[in-house]
Structure 1
Amino acid sequence: MSTELASRGRPKAARPARGPGATPRRAFSPGLLFALPFLVLFVLFMLWPLAQGAWMSLTDTSLAARDPSFIGVDNYAEALGDAEMWRTMWHTVWFTLVSTVPLVVVALGMALLVYTGLPGQWVWRLAFFAPYLLPVGVIGLLWGWLYQPDLGLYNHLLRAVGLDGYAWLSDESVALYAIVIATLWWTVGFNFLLFLAALQAVPDHLYEAAALDGAGAWRRLWHVTLPQLRRVIGVVTVLQILASLKVFDQVYLLTKGGPDGSTRPVVEYLYDMGFTGYRLGYASAIAYVFFALIVLASAVQFVALRRREK
C-alpha cells in the first residue's frame, strides 16, 4: 500500500517540448516517394494487363468482333478438353526436361574451367557469354543455315566423315533436339555467368584447409565447391525451368512448330489462337491455365529446395 501511494505521489516526467527548430513527425515514409515510379509502372504494365487478361478469358473477345459478351468459364472448359492444347503442353514440358539438364551442367562446367585458371580468361568469358547477347532473329538465321539439309555446315561435316546428313528441322525425330542444341548455344552464357560469380564468392580458406588435409582436385570439387554452390545450383535450375517453359521465339523462327506440330509449344499455340484464329478470349484462357501450371511447378520446386536445405 505504501509503495502504491509513493508511486502515485511521484511527479511524472514531463515530455520535452518541441522547439521551434524541431522536425515535425512525417505522416508517411519518404521511401514511398522513391518506390512510387516503380509502383505506377508495376500497376500499368503488370497488374492491369493481368486483370484485363483475366476478364478477357471470361468473354468471347475476338479480333473479328467489336462487342464481346460474357460467357463465364466456357473458354476454360474448352481449353481443358482441347487435345491440341495438351499436346503442345507436353511438347513444352519435354523441351524443358531435355534442355534444363545440359543448360545447368554445361554452364557449371564452363564456369569451373574458367575459374580454375585457363590462360586468357577474358577471352573465354567473352566467348562463353557473347552468344547470349545476340537477338533471337540472328539466332534463327544462323542456326537455320547451320541446319540446312543441302548446304548446312553440320551435314557437310557429317558427309565429310562418310555419314548421312539429317533433315534437322523437318524430321520429327530430331527437330526438337536440334532446337535444344541451338538454345543451349544461345542461352548457356547467362547460367555460366551466375555460376562464375558464385565460384568467386567461395572462401579461399576452405580450399586451403582441404589442401592441407591432402584433398586432391576432385575431392575439393566434390566436398568443397559443389556443397558451396548447392543453393546457387537450385536457384539456377528453377530459373532455367521457368525460362524453358516459356519457349517460343527460337521455335517459331526455326520450325514454326513443325514438322506436323511436333515442336509446337503451348505459347505458340495460344499465339496462333489469338492472332491467327482471332480468338483472344480463348487464348487468354489457355494462357491462364498455363500460368496456373507454372505457379504449381514453381511452388513444388521451392518446397523441394527448402526441404533439401533443412
Structure 2
Amino acid sequence: MKRSGFWFVAPFLVLYVAFLIVPMVIGLGASVTDDGITGHARFVGAANYVELFGDPAVWSSLWHTLIFTVTSTPVIVLVGLGMALLANRMAPERWLYRLAFFAPYLLPVSVVVLIWNWLYQPGFGLINDALTRLGLHEVGWLSTDGMAMTSIVITTVWWTAGFGFLLYLAALQEIPRQLYEASALDGATPFQQLRRITLPLLSRTHQLVIVLQVLASLKVFDQIYLLSGQGGIPGVRSIVQYIYESGFTRFRIGYASAISYVFFALIAVVALVHFRLVKR
C-alpha cells in the first residue's frame, strides 16, 4: 500500500524537486557569488547581502511594496466580501452577478493594463473625459508618484477582487439557512444577522483571503511594471521589480538572488506572524 501511494505522488515530487527545490538551491548558491550573464561566477561570500542592506533602492522599493500591500489588501478583501454578499442574496440574477464579478480575474495582466492605461490617459481617457464634462480638472493618474500608486491600487482591486469574491461566496453558501430563519423569527434585523451570524461564521475565510492577498500583494510586479511604463515611475517601483532590474537589466544575477532570499525571509516572517496571531 505504501509503495503504491508513493508511485501516485512520484510525478508531483519529480516536478516539485525539478522546478522548485533545484532552482532554490541554485539561486542560493548564486547569491554568494558575483554571477553575471556570462556565467563566470566568483565567490564573494556575504558581500551581496552586506551591499543590499546598505542599498537605498532596496529600502525604497520595499517601502513602496509595503504601501501597496497596506492600501490594496483591505480594499480587495472588503470589495470581495461585499460582492459575495450581494450575489448570494440576488437569487434570480445570481449567475449574472457571479459572471460580472469574477470575469475580470480571468483576464491576463496585459489586457488589464491595456484597458486601464487607456482609461487613465489625459485628454481622451474615459475617466479624465468624464471629469472635464463635470467641470473638474484632469488628473495625472500615471504621471506622479502619489497618483500612480493610487491608480495601480484601483486597477489591482478591479482585477483581483474576484478571487476573494469566489471564496467568500462558497463560504456563504455553506452557512445553514436555518440560522437566518430562526434569527428572523426572534426579530433579528438583516444587519444583526450579518453581524452576529454571517461575519463570525466567515472568520476562517477571512483568514484565508487576507493571508493569500497579503502574500500576493507583497509579490506585486506585473501591473506596476506595465502601468508605470516599464519602471518609468521610480516612486512606485516594487521590490520584485528591483530584483528584476538588478538581474536582467544590470546583469547582476548574484546580487538579485541575494535580494530575493532576503525578501523570501521577510515573507516567511509575515506568514508566521499571521498564523501565530490566528492561532491565538
TM-score interval, normalised by the smaller of the two chains:
over 0.9
Mapping of residues 18-167 of structure 1, within 5 Å: 28-63=2-37, 65-117=38-90, 119-167=92-140
1:245 aligns with 2:218: yes
What TM-score do the two structures reach when normalised by structure 1? 0.88
CA distance in 2, matches of 1:272, 1:234: 33
> What is the rounded CA distance, in whole Å, between the counterparts of 1:118 and 1:102 in structure 2?
25
Partner of 2:231 in structure 1? Answer: 257
Superposition deviation, residue 150 in structure 1: 1.5
After superposition, the C-alpha distances for 1:8-55 in whole angstroms (9 at most, x for unaligned) are: xxxxxxxxxxxxxxxxxx7x4310000000000000001001111000
Q: Which residue of structure 1 lines up, in the alignment, with residue 144 of structure 2?
A: 171
Matched, 1:200 2:179: no
Point out the more displaced range, 129-138 or 114-123. Answer: 114-123
Shifted more, 203-212 versus 166-175: the winner is 203-212
What percentage of residue pairs aligned between the two structures are identical? 52
Alignment equivalent of 1:278, drawn from 239, 248, 251: 251
Letter in 2 for 1:60: D
TM-score (structure 2 length as normaliser): 0.97
Question: Which of 118-127 and 188-197 deviates more?
Answer: 118-127
Structure 1 Cα separation of the partners of residues 71 and 195 of structure 2: 25
Aligned to 1:240, the other structure's residue is in SS state helix
CA deviations 1:70-107 (Å, max 9, x no partner) are: 11111111111111101000000110000000100010
Aligned pair 1:214/2:191, yes or no? no
Larger Rg: 1
Aligned residue for 1:198, secondary structure, equals: helix
**Backbone CA RMSD of aligned residues:** 1.0
CA distance in 1, matches of 2:146, 2:4: 59
Higher helix share: 2
May I ask how many residue pairs the two structures share in their alignment? 279
> Are 1:287 and 2:260 counterparts?
yes
Alpha-carbon distance, 1:118 to partner:
5.0
Separation in structure 2 between the aligned mates of residue 182 and residue 294 of structure 1, nearest angstrom: 23
- Contact kept, 8 Å, 1:257 with 1:265, in 2: the verdict is no
Structure 1: gaps spanning 5 or more residues: 1-25
